[in-house]
Structure 1
């Protein structure tokens, strides 16, 4: 009897063990969220677009750079105050841009998954050439901003996950070659899939308008070719190539690569959320001096809150930088909440064409006026202002490089500060200067305190010796120029 009981207990125990093992096999499974390989590439597109706009284009890069470019003033007696006063511990710290560094590489991982699914044809993603072109366009833009901000970056060995946790740094020159090749592939795939609508309702930028995606790819090609002007020997050949790409975007009726209202749904612009939650920015006198009293954008740039006296402020004013009560004037468009995020504006495209034509000794009047009018009309439209944008653009007269860069600087003070930072460094590398920066803290004790690049993110500095060895104490950002701006 005892033997029988022990046998029964043994069987029961074995059954219990088997049951427990089955439970343990299932306990770490996420049954509520499918694994990435089981998600259609189309369903990843919305997040890829949104993350590009919210995190990479209009996130911490733009917030901090708005102070550096003097398109806004950093205030609040906190991080942006320290940025405004060119505090080295703020600018050189690996923690300052860690969030956007991680977010951008995280977004690129999502984009790369889309590309791999389509190219390998897994999970019903085969031959979705239009979607592939969209993903490649987004990849080029995200890598473009990363290398423009940081110089040499993980590229060829990046995005491999656990297979390579310490990717090497690729030279910026090689990253640029990769970006332009990716854009060429994007253009080919968008053309190949021009009659497809693989994105369904996930394309929040263009609603499956493949022609607009192609126009965007050409516009980005023009941008990244032009970025290399300072370090290119045959400038005429490069400018001709830039002009060809930009004109192709115009031919395709480029409407701007934006995140805006889609299917009647709007969301808070990151700049608006930044103002409402932090109150870390104010209007800059550098901008208002360039605008003059006739610019129809002026009253909206020096928007008065109930507590403010209006006006604009001198960059580097320590007393102003410490104001933390929200009483300072700031651009009115940041108080809208529903304004679009510009990942590549129509005005930038026409400013590129204006610059290129002037450098090629061609008439750029039409392109210049279209660039200015595009900026003015958009801002006037946000406030139901019936000012004639074309008339104002015409009043500026014949364009010169000075006028082009001044007007581009004003137009990009809305949310394109990343590209302004690129322009300021590029023309400096060419021995030119069109925007006079006046923050006295840019030089301290005869030492440069205007960053030539931004520091790497803390997560990589701590975990990747390839990056930590370059980062050092972070002060390399003041002396080491990026390749496109005359460095190594």
Structure 2
């Protein structure tokens, strides 16, 4: 059964802000007998795109910028200044207000409202909502460390929710995924159809998403709690799980209000299509060393009006002062990063990519925690990345690149195998999944070719290992735990 609606991304986010504004004083959750114009009684199916759009705003805008700069895909352009503080490892706490708001006051609160709905036949929609809660809380805790979960989303009952340890947050993530599974498997339930901006109501893909998200979450514990990680993955594989073979993404258009979130910011009157982000030599040099054809897909060639050929120009991370007059290649429209190219508006935001799914599976096998062939899965990850970028046939690259298949097959230790897998995952995530790439580096230490930003204000050799708590928490939450320095690792970090 499918309900039909017409709902844009712009409308979804507006509706979410309305619900967030109304939530702070609400004492009851969804009740079909209440006024339908009241946020508390909003149609749960219509709250789903609001939740998804808000998560996409976080992943595709704020976390996209911070992640891609701290993962050393991008750096501040010498010809502009918007993101200098990020390259300096010195962002203000107010820089994190919007992502925190979008997570807690829009995405998570609306997902929570859906799960508490008393409307019949909404099992599938509730299942998706539980996964959005799991995904959202993982974003929050991976970024900030300890965050509210047990007292979060409860309105006036807890106006200053306590901060829970990351172990507790991760326990909640697994609970939400487990709650989702039987709901997703319920037949005859109302389908969200087009209101599901990610899979359009395809429950088989949501089940694969749930398994992939659970695998990602357990692998995140590989150093902090390897016993729990290995046991959880073995239990997961005992269910004969399916994993994602397609991207879990939200697609955008070039029409007003429905553009890619990063492009939407760059094209705003505030930034005026000024190119603030450009290619970092960290990733460029590493990909050149592997003769990687994806490089020309991730970045736009600098068009030299004098030289006979165009070139891909980069600068060392954070070296915008030393290269004050240099013109550098921007990210391509494929990843939504070219400010003056309107086709950037249609770049998707990937919550989990197909390539990531294969690399997660390859790591689980390489660690001895799951059955399968790590080389086959590793190759599938590279192939999926080449397909996503339109980089052509990956056969030669896989066979000959130093970071290709030989990096895995010649590895002797588990650590070396994981290094090969994470390094290749890093290449695949360029521009698309900057936050996840930075997060995996924080977990594993791979890739090993990161450098300290030339603009860094941190002690020598140190780099960001977390985000700062937002200013809104300092001013409004009495349970605010205090400032934690950027160079202090999160619980699961290296």
Smaller-chain TM-score range? Answer: 0.7 to 0.9
The answer to whether the 8 Å contact 1:42/1:200 transfers is no
Counterparts in 2 of 1:115 and 1:423: CA distance versus 1, 3 Å: same
In 2, the alpha carbon distance for the partners of 1:254 and 1:450 equals 33
Question: Deviation digits for residues 260-288 of structure 1, max 9, x if unmatched?
Answer: 269x9994222333454342210111112
- Residue 175 of structure 1 aligns to a residue whose secondary structure is helix
Structure whose CA Rg is larger: 1
Change (3 A) 1:259 1:265: farther
CA shift at 1:455, angstroms? 0.8
The reply on whether 1:434 has 2:470 as its aligned counterpart is: no
Aligned-partner Cα distance in 1 for 2:385–2:265: 22
Match of 1:296 among 293, 297, 300: 293
- Which residue number in structure 2 is paired with residue 286 of structure 1? 282
Distance of aligned partners of 1:357 and 1:99 in 2 relative to their CA distance in 1, 3 Å threshold: same
Per-residue deviation at 1:206? 1.1
CA contact (8 A) 1:258 1:340 kept: yes
SS at match of 1:343: strand
For the pair 1:223 / 2:212, whether they are aligned, the reply is no
Say whether the 8 Å CA contact 1:269–1:340 is kept in structure 2: yes
Closer, same or farther in 2 for the Cα pair 1:202/1:265, shift >3 Å? farther
User: What whole-Å deviation, never above 9, does each CA across 1:125-182 have from its counterpart, x for those lacking one?
Assistant: 2231111101001110001100000011011111122332111111110010001010
1:406 alignment partner, one of 423, 426, 436 = 423
- Show the counterpart of 1:15: none
Q: Is the 8 A contact 1:260 1:338 kept in 2?
A: yes
1:272 aligns with 2:263: yes
d(CA) in 2 for partners of 1:211 and 1:394? Answer: 34
Task: Pick from 479, 486, 490 the counterpart of residue 482 of structure 1.
Answer: 490
Indicate yes or no: 2:362 matched with 1:354.
yes
- 3-state DSSP of counterpart to 1:282: strand
Distance in 1, matches of 2:207 and 2:375, equals: 26
Tell me how large the CA RMSD over aligned residues is.
2.9
Distance 2:124 2:475 in 1: 39
**Counterpart for residue 259 of structure 1:** 250
Going from structure 1 to structure 2, the CA distance change for 1:287 and 1:275 (only over 3 Å counts) comes to farther
CA distance in 1, matches of 2:196, 2:211: 19
The residue correspondences of 1:10-89 to structure 2 (distance < 5 A) are 34-53=37-56, 55-75=57-77, 77-86=80-89, 88=90
Distance of 2:152 and 2:46 partners within structure 1? 23
Answer yes or no: is the 8 Å Cα contact 2:298–2:430 preserved in 1. no
Residue 296 of structure 1 deviates from its aligned partner by 1.5
Gaps of 5+ in 2: 1-34, 268-272, 305-309, 409-416
Of 180, 195, 206 in structure 1, the residue corresponding to residue 199 of structure 2 is 206
1:243 Cα deviation (Å)?
A: 7.1
Deviations 1:17-64 (A, max 9, x none): xxxxxxxxxxxxxxx9811133210011112111111x2211212202
Q: Tell me, yes or no, if the aligned pair for 2:125 and 2:191 is still in contact at 8 Å.
A: yes
CA distance in 2 between partners of 1:321 and 1:60 (Å): 26
2:157 aligned with 1:140: no
2:7 aligns to what?
A: none
Q: Which sections of structure 1, spanning at least 5 residues, go unmatched? A: 1-31
Q: Normalized against structure 1, the TM-score is what?
A: 0.79
Change (3 A) 1:417 1:427: same
1:25 corresponding residue in structure 2: none
Say whether residues 1:376 and 2:386 are aligned partners: yes
Match of 1:3 in 2: none
**Shift in Å at residue 331 of structure 1?**
2.2
Alpha-carbon separation, structure 1, partners of 2:54 and 2:74: 24
Q: CA deviation at 1:255?
A: 1.9
Of Structure 1 and Structure 2, the greater helix share is in 1
Cα distance 1:378–1:455, how it changes in 2: closer, same or farther (>3 A)?
A: same
Aligned length, in residue pairs:
424
String of CA shifts for 1:382-402, please: whole Å, max 9, x gaps. xxx6x2135533442332433
Equivalent residues in 2 for 1:309-458 (5 A)? 310-319=312-321, 327-332=327-332, 333=334, 334=336, 335=338, 336=343, 337-360=345-368, 363-380=373-390, 387-395=392-400, 396-398=404-406, 399=408, 400-428=417-445, 433-441=446-454, 446=459, 449-458=462-471
Deviation at 1:302, TM superposition (A): 3.4
1:219 is displaced (CA, Å) by: 0.7
